[in-house]
């Protein structure tokens, strides 16, 4: 699809993620539509399948969901180096793509968070800062609840949907009322999924 | 203020690594469990305040939270240690998965495992929201207002699926303004003193 990349191409990759970083209020996933527009539509650096596989995989694997950005950078880099058949060159391309994507995605937002959170902490007695924290507390709990609801009710039309709701509700009550280890529950979920119950 | 705190940046790194490695389907399901219940570095109230800041600033919430917590104990070294812990091991795992996954992603068992773990993750997120509700007892807004705001946010985000921007602006903004009024001009009282007012 594309042969050797010029430095300018790598720079555009970094620039795209830098430009989205400060727009990602609520997490990097909110900027995924724009990544799709640029990486898949405009530049043809990724296929549709690679784009959605990057998101699914990062959500299933442990760690923050922002790692889907790393996978996109990895895939773009491998293409840029001439595909996986290019051997070591492809791995180096993938690594460079991953680093640039993560750097661009995280550098502006983490810098802002670092400065803003320090300011907020050293001014925590200010009425406005206390009002922000007091006022946001119920909203944050509502948002966490809504996230759980959205995760549980996605793909509601499949025949085993009510099995999954049962599993989600059971896990919620169990974790709420007991101290069972989370990894056991995840393992149980994986097992129930592998045998086809959910 | 708290008897328990991380011993060193290395301690932060390992604690956040372990936290992150349990975060299948995103880390927000386990941060509350690890930081508030297991390590007890934050009270429920502090966790809510920090999570509100992490939500409202751009960038991945979990990454923002790790920076803020790390910075509070060991300055920028702590922030970097916590951030590295949050990202390093999961990044390695997700890359290995991406390389291996290319061959097996179509297997129904693998798809089923992802579905099952997704259902468990939904339950975990819901439980972490339920566990934070008692933290609202000391909120200066009072229980009825808190309940109303929580429900409004849940409906706006979970059912109406409004973009996060509007949720933070409308329920969030109104709530903060109301809290500003409730807290009164006495800027040097702690949150506990605010709760004693009728």
Q: What is the mean pLDDT of residues B11-39?
A: 90
Do the Cβ atoms of A116 and B53 come within 8 Å?
Answer: yes
* Domain range list for chain A: 7-118, 155-194
Contacts of B66 (CB under 8 A, 6+ apart): B16, B79, B82, B83, B85, B86
The secondary structure of chain A in percent helix, strand, coil, rounded to multiples of 5, reads 75, 0, 20
A58, A137, A179: best to mutate for the B interface, most B CBs within 10 A: A137
Closest residue of chain A to B144, computed from CA coordinates: A138
SS3 assignment for B90-131:
HHHHHHHHHHHHHHHCCCHHHHHHHHHHHHHHHHHHHHHHHH
Q: What's the predicted TM-score (pTM) here? A: 0.82
- Res B138: pLDDT: 86
Look up tokens 């840029």; give the residue: A80
- How far is A17 from A109, CA to CA, in rounded Å? 11
Burial class (CB in 10 A: 0-12, 13-18, 19+), B182: middle
Confidence of residue A1 (pLDDT cuts 50, 70, 90): very low
Reply yes or no on whether the pLDDT at B2 is more than 70: no
Nearest to A193 among B97, B114, B161 (CB): B114
Burial class (CB in 10 A: 0-12, 13-18, 19+), B17: buried
Residues of B in contact with A74 (CB under 8 A): 95, 98
Instruction: Name the average pLDDT for chain A.
Output: 89
- Res B11: pLDDT: 96
Q: Which of B41, B36, B53, B5 is nearest to B127 (CA)?
A: B36
Reply yes or no on whether the pLDDT at B116 is more than 90: no
Q: What is the mean pLDDT of residues B140-153?
A: 94
Q: What is the mean pLDDT of residues B40-57?
A: 90
- Res B103: pLDDT: 67
Reply yes or no on whether the pLDDT at A12 is more than 50: yes
Nearest to A64 among B62, B93, B149 (CB): B62
Confidence of residue B141 (pLDDT cuts 50, 70, 90): very high
Kindly report, residue by residue over A170-188, the tens digit of the pLDDT.
999 999 998 888 888 989 9
- How far is A183 from A166, CA to CA, in rounded Å? 19
Reply yes or no on whether the pLDDT at B26 is more than 80: no
Reply yes or no on whether the pLDDT at A4 is more than 80: no
Residues of B in contact with A164 (CB under 8 A): 115-116, 118-119, 122
Reply yes or no on whether the pLDDT at B83 is more than 90: yes
- Res B99: pLDDT: 85
* Domain range list for chain B: 1-105+123-138, 139-187
- Res B193: pLDDT: 41
- Residue A141 near residue B167 (C-beta atoms within 8 A): no
- How far is B155 from B196, CA to CA, in rounded Å? 30
- Residue B11 near residue B74 (C-beta atoms within 8 A): no
Lowest mean pLDDT segment, chosen from A15-24, B26-35, B86-95, B96-105: B96-105
- Res B186: pLDDT: 60
- Res A34: pLDDT: 87
Reply yes or no on whether the pLDDT at B194 is more than 80: no
Confidence of residue B68 (pLDDT cuts 50, 70, 90): very high
Burial class (CB in 10 A: 0-12, 13-18, 19+), A88: exposed
Reply yes or no on whether the pLDDT at B191 is more than 70: no
Structure tokens at B10: 């290395």
Reply yes or no on whether the pLDDT at A71 is more than 90: yes
- Res B40: pLDDT: 94
Reply yes or no on whether the pLDDT at A154 is more than 90: no
Do the Cβ atoms of A171 and B127 come within 8 Å?
Answer: yes
Do the Cβ atoms of A189 and B120 come within 8 Å?
Answer: yes
Q: What is the mean pLDDT of residues A36-52?
A: 88
- For residue B93, the tally of other CB atoms under 10 A from its CB is 16
């Amino acid at each position: 699809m594309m042969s050797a990349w010029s430095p300018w191409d790598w720079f555009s990759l970094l620039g795209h993620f830098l430009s989205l970083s400060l727009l990602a209020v609520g997490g990097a996933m909110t900027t995924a539509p724009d990544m799709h527009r640029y990486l898949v539509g405009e530049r043809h650096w990724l296929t549709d399948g690679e784009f959605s596989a990057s998101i699914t995989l990062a959500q299933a694997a442990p760690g923050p969901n922002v790692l889907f950005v790393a996978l996109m950078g990895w895939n773009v880099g491998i293409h840029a180096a001439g595909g996986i058949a290019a051997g070591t060159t492809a791995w180096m391309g993938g690594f460079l793509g991953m680093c640039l994507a993560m750097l661009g995605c995280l550098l502006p937002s983490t810098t802002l968070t670092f400065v803003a959170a320090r300011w907020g902490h050293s001014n925590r007695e200010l009425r406005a800062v206390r009002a922000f924290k007091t006022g946001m507390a119920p909203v944050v709990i509502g948002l966490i609840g809504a996230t759980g609801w959205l995760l549980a009710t996605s793909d509601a039309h499949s025949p085993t949907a009510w099995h999954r709701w049962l599993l989600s509700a059971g896990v919620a009550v169990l974790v709420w009322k007991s101290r069972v280890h989370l990894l056991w529950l995840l393992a149980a979920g994986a097992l129930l999924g592998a045998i086809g119950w959910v | 203020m708290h008897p328990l705190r991380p011993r060193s940046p290395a301690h932060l790194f390992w604690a956040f690594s372990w936290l992150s490695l349990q975060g299948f389907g995103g880390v927000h399901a386990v941060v509350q469990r690890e930081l508030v219940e297991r390590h007890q570095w934050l009270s429920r109230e502090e966790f809510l305040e920090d999570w509100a800041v992490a939500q409202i600033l751009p960038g991945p919430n979990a990454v923002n939270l790790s920076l803020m917590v790390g910075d509070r104990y060991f300055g920028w070294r702590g922030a970097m240690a916590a951030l590295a812990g949050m990202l390093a091991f999961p990044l390695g795992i997700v890359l290995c998965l991406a390389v291996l996954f290319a061959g097996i992603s179509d297997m129904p068992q693998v798809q089923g495992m992802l579905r099952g773990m997704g259902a468990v993750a939904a339950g975990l997120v819901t439980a972490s929201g339920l566990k934070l509700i008692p933290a609202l007892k000391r909120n200066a807004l009072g229980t009825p207002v808190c309940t109303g705001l929580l429900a409004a946010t849940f409906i706006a985000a979970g059912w109406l699926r409004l973009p996060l921007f509007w949720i933070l602006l409308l329920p969030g903004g109104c709530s903060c303004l109301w809290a500003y009024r409730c807290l009164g001009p006495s800027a040097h009282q702690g949150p506990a003193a605010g709760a004693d007012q009728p």
